Structure 1
């Protein structure tokens, strides 16, 4: 494949440095995981599990699909890779404890760029008390040309029950923590080359490069009695659909309530949308990679700080199977009306 050229960085390439020297460079930037008894350097790490259970999740980022080196720095990619996994841990109601990283890269990959990736991983995980505790590196096939980064995150439930996608019940409320549409808006700006948009696009581009999941909102929701939860990585309509199907219910999104949370006060989504001729609600409903959290709560629950009600849960019937509706309209019809081309991201499609 042909990939965009990355900026030159001092420090040579992976081929010139060698595997073990590269690992030493990366480990030096890993940070310290509070739960780790044994970190990088042995055949495996040892991570304490006070709860007796381990939450584990993995995401794979592929150059050209999830990031471009001419659009994002290595530090950006490290932040993004960590966030995608740490948000999944939070969506289970857990607190992140450690990261494991698998890296496949061409021999000509600049060492400096990989050091930046390590810095980004450490910077995203560090404030949560987590860090990279191990992993693996391998040379990618020279003709592939792409960097592949696989990150596994571990987490601790702290005695709480895991919050699954399958626990929503009719009569409950649907709530959101975090922002939506910003990453998709930033991606649209990058694809247009930022021309004709102006300075208001900077925040959206930054959000695409470095999402800001509401990590603390996950454990807080679990403590407050959340019955189902997931992170919004593929798009609100798509991920709400996953929750609805897993629970066998209908998720009813209130368009006005969602707009009040996601689009008020007016900001980059309005401004960039106007410049690009895009309804910002299309980004809010179908844009992914912001890693907001979506959860259901009993109707009488007191929602933690940072959570806002955007809808309700209804029973699925023979005529209305499990799925998502926005103001009474099927999700697919809403996405089509907005010109979104689908309810969210679907791999292999």
Structure 2
């Protein structure tokens, strides 16, 4: 059966039923799908909100990624942004554009991915909208609750250390393999299809004294550049300390590749960091920017309007 055969309200009913399986509504969702709008709790009186758009052919290809992984990826890149602010994700909303000839089971698998990624952080898909489209489009909004001060990009200070947790360059390596018609090594291809943000480690960053933090989505050097600009500091990265994938261009991919959704943060130099955080550099006074082994490095990341579509 296709989406067109089922109809708008039929597919909405199937999606809603799919999302309610397993964990159901998380503790932050007071009223989920089925009404004119969802109701989400905000215990601290503050809501962290972020949104992303995923377009078929730009962010994913259906011949490269199964629908379940596309759903996980769509949720992960938004949930990671909430966590990067030091907030607990509570709910996700998604707008879904889909061709009428798309199989219903493809849509259901995508929804399973959205739901299961949210379950990683005890969040829920609270609602959304479905429209007909020429290609698949996902517009995702994630909400979160703050239990303390937000961790912004503007808090880094000279003397801080720079550390990362999570994989870097693996998604870029997977994209390179798929672009060349290869599907091995499977772990690298899988990294492109479905990121695995280290949510738990990032959620403990405030306890460790993090002064600034961000989600690495467009490349480590480029994203650290945003942190440096916001904080008015210079970030000095030691290239050999940056973990990368086991491929010939792994170091370059670790510095410039996006979509792994690792986290980069700055900490006071006296902070005792657990093994999941790897120190890769320092923060110094100076003109805002990033150097790698003492030299400027760029342009060094993803820009929708600088690079052609993959």
Does TM-score exceed 0.5, indicating one fold? Answer: yes
- 1:212 maps to 196
Separation in structure 1 between the aligned mates of residue 303 and residue 131 of structure 2, nearest angstrom: 28
Does 2:14 match 1:25?
yes
Separation in structure 1 between the aligned mates of residue 82 and residue 123 of structure 2, nearest angstrom: 12
Larger Rg: 1
RMSD, aligned α-carbons = 1.2
CA positional deviation for 1:305 = 5.0
1:218-252 per-position Cα deviation (integer Å, ceiling 9, x unaligned): 22112222111100000001101111111111111
- 1:175 maps to 163
- 1:308 maps to 278
Within a 5 Å distance, the mapping from 1:8-157 to structure 2 comes to 12-30=1-19, 31-140=24-133, 145-157=134-146
Within a 5 Å distance, the mapping from 1:310-329 to structure 2 comes to 310-316=280-286, 321-329=287-295
Within a 5 Å distance, the mapping from 1:326-341 to structure 2 comes to 326-332=292-298
8 Å contact from structure 1 (residues 217, 304) kept in 2? no
Separation in structure 1 between the aligned mates of residue 275 and residue 200 of structure 2, nearest angstrom: 10
Aligned residue for 1:204, secondary structure, equals helix
Separation in structure 1 between the aligned mates of residue 171 and residue 214 of structure 2, nearest angstrom: 18
- 1:299 maps to 269
My pick for the range that moved more, 26-35 or 55-64, is 26-35
Separation in structure 1 between the aligned mates of residue 92 and residue 275 of structure 2, nearest angstrom: 27
Does 2:272 match 1:288?
no
CA positional deviation for 1:174 = 0.4
Separation in structure 2 between the aligned mates of residue 15 and residue 151 of structure 1, nearest angstrom: 23
Aligned residue for 1:114, secondary structure, equals helix
Q: 2:149 aligns with which of 152, 161, 166?
A: 161
Q: 1:184 aligns with which of 159, 169, 172?
A: 172
My pick for the range that moved more, 118-127 or 301-310, is 301-310
Separation in structure 1 between the aligned mates of residue 62 and residue 282 of structure 2, nearest angstrom: 41
Aligned residue for 2:131, secondary structure, equals strand
Larger helix fraction of residues: 1
Separation in structure 2 between the aligned mates of residue 302 and residue 53 of structure 1, nearest angstrom: 30
Using the size of structure 2 for normalisation, the TM-score is 0.94
Separation in structure 2 between the aligned mates of residue 90 and residue 344 of structure 1, nearest angstrom: 21
8 Å contact from structure 1 (residues 233, 289) kept in 2? yes
8 Å contact from structure 1 (residues 35, 47) kept in 2? yes
CA positional deviation for 1:137 = 1.0
In the alignment of these two chains, the number of paired residues is 302
- 2:207 maps to 223
Separation in structure 2 between the aligned mates of residue 33 and residue 21 of structure 1, nearest angstrom: 25
Separation in structure 1 between the aligned mates of residue 135 and residue 264 of structure 2, nearest angstrom: 33
